[in-house]
Amino acid sequence: MNVEPIEVSVIGAMLVDNTRSEAVFSAPELLFSSERGKTLYQGVKSLYKQNYDLSPETLTVVLQGEMGMDEGTAQGLVAMAIQSAAKPDHLPFLIKSLSSSRVTSLRMELAKALGHEGSMRMGEVLSKVSEFQRQIALLDDHKAMTYEGALLDLTQQQNVKYFVPGMGALDKVFQIDEGTVCYIGGRSGGGKTAFALNMMYNIAKAGHNVGIIEVEMRRKPIAARLSGVMSRLNTRRVMKGEINDAERQHLQASVDKHREILSRIRGIEPSAFHADMIKPTIERWRDEWGCEMVMIDYVQILQGKGQDRTKEVAYISRCITEAAKDTNIPIVALSQARRSEGDVKMSDFKESAQLEHDADTMVTLNQADGYVPGAETKQVWCELVKSRNGFLTRDLMEYHLPTQTFTHTGKIASSQTQGGNEPAPF
- Over residues 235-267, the pLDDT tens digits come to 899 889 898 999 999 999 999 999 999 999 999
- pLDDT score for 209: 95
How many beta carbons lie within 10 A of that of residue 421, not counting itself?
Answer: 7
pTM recorded for the entire structure? 0.68
The predicted-structure confidence for 344-379, as pLDDT tens digits, reads as follows 877 777 666 788 888 899 999 998 988 888 899 999
Helix (H, G, I), strand (E, B) or coil at 362: strand
Tell me, yes or no, if the two domains 5-138 and 162-417 fold the same way.
no
For 215-313, list the strands marked E by DSSP: 265-268, 293-297
Taking residues 122-149, what's their average pLDDT? 67
Instruction: Place domain 5-138 in its CATH homologous superfamily.
Output: DNAb Helicase; Chain A (1.10.860.10)
Which residues neighbour 53 within 8 Å (Cβ) at sequence distance 6 or greater? 18, 47
Residue 255 CA to residue 275 CA, distance in Å, equals 33
- The yes/no answer on whether domain 162-417 falls in CATH 2.40.160.40 is no
The full set of domain ranges for the chain reads: 5-138, 162-417
Give the pLDDT confidence of 43-69 residue by residue, as tens digits: 887 877 676 777 888 889 988 888 888
Sheet of 377-387: strand order equals: 265-268, 210-214, 293-297, 331-336, 181-186, 361-367, 377-387, 391-400, 405-417
Over 60: is that where the pLDDT of 385 sits?
yes
**pLDDT value of position 331:** 96
Per-residue pLDDT averaged across 299-325, rounded?
87
